[in-house]
Amino acid sequence: MINVNKVIKVNKNPFFTLFTFFTLFTFPLNGAPPPSKGPQLRAPVKTTVTDEAALFKGLAGSITGVGLVTADEKQAMSQTIDREKNWILRRTMGQVYDSAYQLYREGKFQESLELLNRIVTLDPGFEKARALHSALAAAGGAARPGGTRLPTPKSARQLVQENFFEALATYRDGRKVEAVRKFEEVLALEPSNRKAQYYINRINGEIAKEYFEKGKFAKTEGRLEEALNDFYTAVSLDSKSYAFLSRQITEMESQVRAKKLQYHLAEALRALTNSQWSKARASAQEMTRLDPNNQRAQEIVAESYDLEAKGYLSRGDAHLGRKEFEKAIEEYRGAVKLGYRAGEAKEKISIAEARIKQTQDDARRKEEEEKARKEAEERVKAATGGAAKTEQGAAGSGQDSAPPEAKKASEAHYQQAMVFYQAGDLQRALQELGMALKFDPNNQNAYAAKRMIEQKLAR
């Protein structure tokens, strides 16, 4: 015996789902033998090797992704499997319903109800099964208003009559929607019952007329969407009587579409003005959904991307001007990722990276120069202290010459000054020449160069 509560569970595994459908309805149902008459469950249609291979590939792809390349392909395969599952479910449910109906016709109401319980559990949208299930469940002892219970019917004919008169009483009480449902239960019990079909058509016509009148009133007040919904309902309930509405519905749909397009256009333009790029594109996409060939929507999308890219470039330029190179590169990369003005953004990234390298090189060179200067000063101090006596003797003979170490340091500063001079950095060249003359006041080359640079700066 199969435990339905354990078997009927929601499971995302396609293999398990297909197995459940066939297993559940091929084993004996609670020990009851299959009906001796009427349609029986048929074996599945024989498939070819190619069909089986395709099905296996689809199932394997949906579970593991094997053989599938893109997410779109996986989604398409998943949708295909869902459609196949639904088709197998409906086909199986149809066969089981035929068996349940045959049991009902044979007077085996309890066995039929057990089958119907399983059908409505697996497929709540199966209307015929729902109607027959409701009728049998009510007749089998369901509580009635006032605490009374319907007796178990002695025949299918008696059950049909009881349900018909109950539906008729419901209709006369003004509960039209409920009455239609009850008359549908009568049809489920006896599909050839013309009276039940007549009342269904009659009640649907009355309800359709009410919706038609509501729709006309809503249309006169300019509530077009509400009017459309009412007209849709009227046509779906009584398509013959309200076929003339098709032209009006088409015109109203065009008006509603134009109104929505105008609304989304205004929203998109407002978002562009407020620099809300994503919101502008969302409104443009709504316009495209309503009108796939809408040129203005495409222009808004392109404009929003272009303006957003300009914003990235503008903020990047501002950071670049403040020598905030890393922040500038981050902004430029935003434009590259966006895909608009990407070439311009990449060029600016190269400039910022070159500036970073130049800054690092300048800092390193300055550090090396400072280190060399300090080392030269230390050597000069050492040489000056060791040659004190020589300087005193030279002073007695009337000579004013710098010691060799001082001359060497002076020459080094002079050479560095020439490097800065060639690079156009006159201020730093002057500083180096000043150091050169400090070590050796008689350095004629340094003196001449210093005088020349001072004249240039004075112009």
Q: Bigger pLDDT: 143 or 105?
A: 105
Q: Report residue 157's pLDDT band, with 50, 70 and 90 as the boundaries.
A: confident
> pTM, whole model, 2 decimals?
0.47
Q: What angle do CA 66, 70, 71 make, to 5 degrees?
A: 95
What's the CA gap between 274 and 398, in Å, rounded?
84
Domain residue ranges of the chain, discontinuous segments joined by +: 1-143, 153-243, 257-357, 403-459
How confident is the model at residue 382, as a pLDDT?
67
Class (C level, CATH) for 153-243: mainly alpha
User: Any idea what DSSP says for residue 276?
Assistant: -
Average pLDDT, the chain: 77
For residue 292, pLDDT beyond 80: yes
How confident is the model at residue 149, as a pLDDT?
38
Give the residue-averaged pLDDT of 23-28.
Answer: 47
Class (C level, CATH) for 257-357: mainly alpha
- Residues 427-458 as b/e (b if ≥16 CB within 10 A, e otherwise) read ebbbebbebbbbbbeebebbbebbeebeeeee
User: What SS3 class is residue 32?
Assistant: strand
What's the CA gap between 150 and 436, in Å, rounded?
122
What's the CA gap between 420 and 116, in Å, rounded?
98
Choose the most confident range, by mean pLDDT, from 58-67, 256-265, 373-382, 437-446: 256-265
Give the residue-averaged pLDDT of 427-435.
Answer: 88
Q: Bigger pLDDT: 239 or 268?
A: 268
What's the CA gap between 279 and 285, in Å, rounded?
10
Q: Which two tokens stand for residue 452?
A: 């020349």
Give the residue-averaged pLDDT of 307-316.
Answer: 93
Tell me the pLDDT tens digit for each residue of 337-367.
988 889 999 999 999 999 999 889 888 888 8
Tell me the pLDDT tens digit for each residue of 60-82.
555 444 455 566 667 777 778 87
For residue 376, pLDDT beyond 80: no
Judge contact between 187 and 164, C-beta under 8 A: no
Q: Report residue 446's pLDDT band, with 50, 70 and 90 as the boundaries.
A: confident
CATH number of 403-459: 1.25.40.10
